[in-house]
Amino acid sequence: MISFTINDREVTGQEGWTILEVAKWHGIDIPTLCYHGAVEPYGACRLCVVEVDDGQQRRLVASCLHPVQEGLKVQTDSERVKNVRRWILQMMVDEHPGSQRIKELAKSYGVKESRFKSDRVEDLCILCGLCVRACDEVVGARAISLGNRGVRKEVATTHRLPSPECVACGTCLYVCPTGAMEQLFDRIRG
């Protein structure tokens, strides 16, 4: 057993657990978007960041990936953490104004749309990669992947053609946090 603190509260977790898992266990809420218990954590949305102090350094880490450590001091809502979350949600709500889930999350952090708001309401994909991981790890079909890079990154099929590997099981529809897959699905399945 490993003991450490979350928001000054003593908690314990097993070796190899992540901070997020221990926090959930103890009913401490940390927001997430690219995390799902059924697949490997990926660390992309960064909404789950927390501030950790290991006695040498204070820094922000993704709680969905960071292993628990003896004596670690974790803060889930420090000013630095809030600044990161607010900016993530600010940019998401501007880029994907059509997503209800994002809108609600943003609202809970007091974030409103800004002058950079996009007019493409149909653009819902936040590239969390859950569909890709579910298709690979849960279904084993490997019909889709995250293609390209940077601002051009996208959920894609090979050659952007309907995927012969797709078994139309709909698992991706189920894990997608924003509803983006509803639009993509027909193009993937062909």
Partner 1 sequence: MSVSFEKIEAILDRFPPQPEHLVSAFQEIQAEFKYIPADAFNAVCDHLGVPRSQGWAVATFFKSFSFEPKGIHEIKVCLGTACHLKGGARLVEGLERELKVERGHTTGDLLFTLDTVNCVGACALAPVVVVGEEYQANTNSRKLKKHLKKVAAE
Partner 2 sequence: MRQISTALKLDENRLASPAALAAYRESILAERDPNRPIIIVCHGTGCLATNSPKVADTLRRAIAAAGLQAQVVPEIKTTGCHGFCSRGPLVIFHPTGLFYQRVQPEDVEEIVQTTLLEGKPVERLLYVDPNTGEHIVHDHDIPFYKYQQRLVLRNIGKIDPADIRDTIAAGGYQSLAKVLAGMTPEEVIAVVETSGLRGRGGGGFLAGRKWRLAVENVRKSPGPVYVVGNGDEGDPGAFMDRTLMEGDPHAVLEGMIIGAYALGAQQGYIYVRLEYPLAVRHLSVAIEQARALGLLGQNILGTGFDFDIKINRGAGAFVCGEETALIASLEGRVGEPKTRPPYPAEKGLWNRPTIINNVETWGNVPQIIEKGADWFAGMGVPHSTGTKIFSLVGKVNNVGLVEVPMGITLGRIVEEIGGGVPGRDEFKAVQTGGPSGGCIPWELKDTPVDFDSLTRVGSMMGSGGMIVMDKRDCMVDVAKYFLEFLMDESCGKCVPCRMGLERMHAMLGEFTMGKGSLEDLDELHSLAEGIKDGSLCALGGTAPNPVLSTIRYFRDEYEAHILHKTCPGKVCRELITYAINSELCNGCTLCARECPAGAITGVKKKPHEINSSLCIKCGVCFEVCKPEAVEIL
Q: Which residues bind ligand FES (CB under 6 A)?
A: 32-35, 43-48, 62, 64
Stretch that binds partner 2, among 21-29, 86-94, 100-108, 160-168 (CB under 8 A): 86-94
- Is residue 4 packed enough to be buried (19+ CB in 10 Å), middle (13-18) or exposed (0-12)? buried
Residue 82 φ then ψ, to 5°: -65, -40
Number of Cβ atoms within 10 Å of the Cβ of 42 = 18
Residue 168 interacting partner from partner 1, partner 2, ligand FES, none (CB closer than 5 to 8 Å by kind): none
Among residues 106 and 175, whose Cβ is nearest to partner 1? 175
Residue 156 interacting partner from partner 1, ligand FES, partner 2, none (CB closer than 5 to 8 Å by kind): partner 1
Using CA atoms, how far residue 143 sits from 128, 147, 168, 171, in Å, is: 16, 12, 10, 12
Residue entry with tokens 């995250």: 146
Site string for partner 2, 2-41 (x = CB under 8 A): ----------------------------------------
Where residue 140 falls (left for φ over 0; alpha for ψ -120 to 50; beta otherwise) is left
Question: Under the rule (CB under 8 A), what is the footprint of partner 2?
Answer: 42-47, 49, 59-62, 65-67, 80, 83-84, 86-88, 91-92, 95, 116, 126-127, 129, 146, 148-153
